[in-house]
Amino acid sequence: MGRPSATNAAAGSRGPGRPRDRAIDNIILEEARREVAENGIARFSFHAVARRAGVARNTMYLRWAKREDLIKAALLAGHNPAAPKLTGTLPKDLATLADIFAASFAADGALSAYYQLSVTSLTDPEMWDWARQNIIEPAHAIPERVIREAQERGDARTGVDAGVVARMMVGGIFAEAILRVPHGHVSEEFRRMLVANVLALVEPEAS
């Protein structure tokens, strides 16, 4: 029998009964993300989320038995980058990815939540390992795949490490989102400059 997925594990198990109200789930998950963004993982309060969402604590416990389950479910349901439909043209695909990652950091509370996750590398190694495997690495894998496929087509140099370039691209957008005011805003100009520099690094030299 296969191992349960991270999403299913994070959602927790529940017994028989009435179907869950997805609208209530969404409200709770949104407020849980805000709690992470404002107070971090270590100070995350199950009861505070219940107050924020305007629900009884029993309603919460029926859905997520532990605070860690709620945190994981909330982060998985957040504004995480998803792989778009690709064109097979490296400049266009990288520009699309830059827009997607910038939008994910600009979403309400998202940048703070990502930052709070990074803090867990020191305070909660188990949570950090989960976040790295289920949020960070899948995000980096999206541009990495685009660059690898470009290498296979001959549109990118094979000597370039696609994984390193992918982390440079995502990290560059994340750093810009932190540095700029308002926080989370990554300008179109910066995104285009970043893509141009990535292309200068990976595209084959003209013969």
Question: Is the pLDDT reported for residue 192 higher than 50?
Answer: yes
Residues 98 and 169 in one domain: yes
Residues 50 and 111 in one domain: no
Assigned domain for 7 exists: no
d(CA 186, CA 165): 19
pLDDT bin (cut points 50, 70, 90) of residue 131 is very high
CATH number of the domain to which 131 belongs: 1.10.357.10
Question: Is the pLDDT reported for residue 80 higher than 90?
Answer: no
Domain final residue, candidates 52, 76, 100: 76
Question: Is the pLDDT reported for residue 129 higher than 80?
Answer: yes
Peptide bond into 143 cis (omega under 30): no
Residue-range definition of the domain harbouring residue 59: 18-76
Q: What is the pLDDT of residue 78?
A: 84
**DSSP letter for each residue of 66-81:** SHHHHHHHHHHTSS--
Q: Please give the tally of structural domains in the chain.
A: 2
Assigned domain for 85 exists: no
Residue range 176-188, pLDDT digits in tens: 999 987 788 999 9
Predicted model pTM: 0.82
Residues 31 and 97 in one domain: no
Average pLDDT for residues 4-22, to the nearest whole number? 50
Average pLDDT for residues 41-45, to the nearest whole number? 93
Q: What is the pLDDT of residue 141?
A: 97
3 state DSSP class of 165: helix
Q: What is the pLDDT of residue 81?
A: 85
The helix-helix angle for 67-76 and 46-53 (nearest 10°) equals 50
Average pLDDT for residues 180-204, to the nearest whole number? 93
Residues 51 and 133 in one domain: no
CATH number of the domain to which 55 belongs: 1.10.10.60
Contact predicate 105/184, CB 8 Å: yes
